[in-house]
Structure 1
């Protein structure tokens, strides 16, 4: 039995074991979640995501390398020499956490922790759904934010230091041909980047402040990890967990906040750039997790990986990977032979009312009850 393999609860007709198919060809609609597929079988159900990720990554990289789309006007000084907006005149400093490191940490740390969780979870499809969902979150968030940077952008706090403006270069200055938005606006204090004399790459980068790519990546990866840990540790569930589990769930949130906050220390972003990046990353994290797991907040189902070809009916009869979690407290994760966390197996557990000695009252009649009918 492989490390990521599980036996199906019924024990019969369980499909491929250790990646080898004993019966008909691998069914991409009704494949078993309790056993590990071969690479070819996995590829049959995942190839479209791989192609999509490659395409989105290429699009995102292309937009990231493109020059800022809009012509942005900015003030320099008043007639008496006073800087109009000193918040854009900070010195250019070295980044505390460069963008490549923020993206690396947001991807690698969650993947390592997901793999460590398999010491108890031991499910190939849990690893698959967790990592695929993480990539959903990171890639979609990255592409989302690079389009905003390219089409909207904004001035970084160190813009004027990078620009090194010389207003004598204004396109409508005496003797210079061309019409632009230079020496324009009230009292003629606004200019465009034609007056900048600094490095062109640094100037283009300093015109793309909104939103923060660091914050987007950090929150997309670490908020996703926080949701995953809550599901596997059952922190917000139906029993009183140990305090270390609360710390474990919020440690990734702290990490994301520290990465984002560092950008306001090294003056690479304005506070609203950081907030926008955090919102984008968090939205993508919640969306990606819910695509791959049966719930986010419902503690009865948020640990269950979703099947690509079959719906989750939210009933406890015959549910695969019902025990795909780390915790073993309060009846959760008791073993593959039981519908773990619900006091037994199948309908009998349903009718007894649930986890451990905590009863649930059924709502409505009938022998088959849905999970969302239980209170």
Structure 2
């Protein structure tokens, strides 16, 4: 699934142009300068949110001497989180076509463009390039969704392996370790506002998409973080929720009580044996 998502994402980025929403040439919300040097560029975002979490996942599983099934559940869920979040984000970017805060710097509107009503892309004097087209991909933030899909997944994985939220656990140190990747993801998201690539709304929605997909992908393979078995993935082919509920009930000391129909044969047998002994 992750490979299919990656292919679709690449096709969208390479060939699909965004919807060009109308804009006002005197709109101060899209009149910010174009940042030539970004605080967190795309390559660095890939390093921070893909390779750094992947390295931590590899190290944790290596030192824990994890089984092949655990390796598979870890990396499969991680790459699905990354690929699916970006696929959804880029579909929304192109469908919504919201102008970026620096659109006017990319567009360079014609001096004769009207200021009393909205105009379209034809009012731009800048050449039709990738930079100009990207000016209509503000919502949601791709950096934010990517960072939370990768680093957010890492936070979930560490929480499960360390048992930070297991019932009865109150270790602040473990909780802080698990919280650290989320701080990194948040800083990446905030940098997009500082570069005037997005506003707060774009960043918040992008972050929510990334974290939601990360949690969804994680829970497809791993129990909830409060489970006493949160450090082990679900068995292959099992019904996750049913297995987890049964395991939690047994751990709490609840056992299935044999009903009357199950005991009917044994009870009849015992009564017949008693009669024979008396006779």
> TM-score normalised by the shorter chain: which range applies?
0.7 to 0.9
Q: Deviations over 1:132-162 (max 9, x none)?
A: 1011100000000111111112111111111
Equivalent residue number for residue 53 of structure 1: 2
CA separation of 1:199 and 1:245: change in aligned 2, threshold 3 A: farther
SS of residue paired to 2:64: helix
Equivalent residue number for residue 108 of structure 2: 164
Counterpart among 291, 301, 311 of residue 229 in structure 2: 301
Contact 1:70/1:152 (<8 A) preserved:
yes
Counterpart among 13, 28, 35 of residue 86 in structure 1: 28
CA RMSD, Structure 1 to Structure 2 (Å): 2.4
CA separation in 1, counterparts of 2:20 and 2:28?
A: 21
What runs of 5+ residues in structure 2 fail to find an aligned partner?
260-279
Q: Deviations over 1:71-106 (max 9, x none)?
A: 321101xxxxxx3x2121111112111123213321
CA separation in 2, counterparts of 1:292 and 1:101?
A: 29
CA separation in 2, counterparts of 1:89 and 1:290?
A: 42
Equivalent residue number for residue 108 of structure 1: 51
Counterpart among 62, 65, 70 of residue 126 in structure 1: 70
CA separation in 1, counterparts of 2:231 and 2:172?
A: 20
1:95 and 2:57 aligned: no
1:138 and 2:82 aligned: yes
Q: TM-score, structure 1 length as denominator?
A: 0.62
SS of residue paired to 1:268: coil
1:365 and 2:257 aligned: yes
Equivalent residue number for residue 287 of structure 1: 216
Q: TM-score, structure 2 length as denominator?
A: 0.82
Task: Pick 1 or 2: higher relative contact order, CA cutoff 8 A, min separation 6.
Answer: 2
Q: Deviations over 1:22-60 (max 9, x none)?
A: xxxxxxxxxxxxxxxxxxxxxxxxxxxxxx333221211
Contact 1:219/1:281 (<8 A) preserved:
yes
Contact 2:18/2:133 (<8 A) preserved:
no
Counterpart among 7, 20, 33 of residue 71 in structure 1: 20
